[in-house]
Every structure is written in structure tokens, then in C-alpha cells.
Structure 1
């Protein structure tokens, strides 16, 4: 698999290798923390996704802003979904690096993650996530996240 930078390809190469329904089933079965957070995949395509995290009082920190750990969890989940959209249902793909830059205070409320893979290879996948306060996307991202996923040699589940 090559790089996913540049213009999006047309046709079959744009189709996700996992459906929203398969992601929901996998999340329900294997990722209870994501269920608790209420994350939901809004859009998915090959190497990219948009994920929604609803407002929860438990995700706020003093000062009324969405906590860093909640945003980091959303970003990590989004990267996992984007990796699977690129390589298929390889459930044992794992985070090997995750870095976040907090850019501005998010408004209390829902957070949107726009994720895209930058490079997907045989063993590693690298991508980025922009996090936005829902309805305030024009203000710019509240955080920028980059991450690397390790892909197991044996891609069976």
C-alpha cells in the first residue's frame, strides 16, 4: 500500500475496507470505553473518517473545557478507524505513537474528529487528526494529533 497524500483516488480505491456497521459492531464488542464516550463514526472512506464525540459532563475539566484525555481518546479511536478503513478488519493493529498539540480551548459541547491517513505501509500506518468544537469549525481546530499504528504481520483476527 502506498501513500494516501495528494488527491483522493477515484473508484474502488476510495471505498473503505470496513463499513460503519462493522466498526460499530467491533466497537460494541471490543472497545467498551468508546461506547462509554459515545463516539460514533459519521463518515468513512479509504484512509479517512469523521467521528463525533457527544458532550458529556464527565469529559469536562475545571474551567469548563473538554479534557485532554477525552480528546486524546477520540483522536486515537479515529486513527484506529481510519487504519482499518485502509487495511481492512485487522483488529490487532495497535497505537505505537500518539502526539497531540492543543491549539485553543474547545467549547463545552460535542467534538468532531476529522482523520486522514498520510502513509499506510505493510507494518506501519501514520495519520493525522484535526479536532473541532462542533458548529465552530470555522474558528479552526482545537487540537492537531498525529499518530502511528503498528500493523501485525499476521493480519488475521
Structure 2
């Protein structure tokens, strides 16, 4: 069972991740060790050439990883990204950007996750990210 709910993570976006709220990020689903986040399409996401910018996709992927780790360990605010890698695979179609993340390995101090990004309504991935989060020791 997930240690946080969809509503919990939306509240975290609203109160602790102001940059995510400003760009309209929403939580579609939180499960045990998995999450789906949505970034509604906005022209501000575009880079020259009319495609969604890399930093926009990276922000969504990292936020998704944060939701994934919290779903597994609970509200541990100091769980932080220690490594992040992304491969851009296809040009995103104009529309909401979706991030589907899951845990690959959960240890006592580190968690490894992956996130697949795609344009809403399209199955073809536009990017794939992997990352590691550091989990602080419980006091």
C-alpha cells in the first residue's frame, strides 16, 4: 500500500514545490512505488523549433521520481536526487506531458527509479529517465 496518496502529493506540490505549481503540474496517480504526473500543455514549455524543452521534461521526470519515492517511504522531505539521467527519444506532440514512474530498487539509503515520458494520448515514449534518490537515516 502506498505511504502517500494522490491528494498528499498534490498538497506537496501546492505547499512545497512552488515551481511545480506555477507550471501546473498535477498528480494523476500514486501507488506503492509508482506514480503518474501530468504537466498540462502550455506555450511556455516550448523551445525554439516548437518542441517541448528538455528542462521542462527533466523537471516533470524528477518530480515524478519524488512522488514515487514518497509513495514507498512516506513523507520524508529530505529524500533528494543524487543522480539523474535522461534520454530524449522522440519529439513530443503538442499536448499534456505525462510521466509514469516506478521504483527499480529500494534500499535503506538509496532508491533507484525510472520514468517514461509521453505526450498524452500517444503510447510512443518521448523520453526515458533514470535516477537515484538518497534517503536520509531515520532519527
TM range (shorter): over 0.9
Q: Which protein has the larger Cα radius of gyration, Structure 1 or Structure 2?
A: 1
Deviation by residue 1:105-149 (Cα, 9 ceiling, x = unmatched): 111221111101000111000000000011111xx1000000000
Cα distance, 1:36 vs structure 2: 1.0
Query: In the alignment, which residue of structure 2 is the partner of 1:109?
Result: 95
The alignment yields a C-alpha RMSD, in angstroms, of 0.9
Number of matched residues? 139
Within the alignment, does 1:28 sit opposite 2:20 as a pair? no
Distance 2:125 2:131 in 1: 17
2:42 to 39, 56, 64: 56
Higher strand share: 2
Distance 2:28 2:10 in 1: 11
Query: In the alignment, which residue of structure 2 is the partner of 1:118?
Result: 104
Unaligned runs of 5+ in 2: none
Deviation by residue 1:68-117 (Cα, 9 ceiling, x = unmatched): 00000000000000000000110110000010000011112211111010
Q: Is the 8 A contact 1:19 1:44 kept in 2?
A: yes
Within the alignment, does 1:136 sit opposite 2:122 as a pair? yes
Q: Is the 8 A contact 1:17 1:86 kept in 2?
A: yes
Give the TM-score normalised by the residue count of structure 2. Answer: 0.97
Unaligned runs of 5+ in 1: 1-14
List structure 1 runs of 4+ shifted beyond 4 angstroms: none
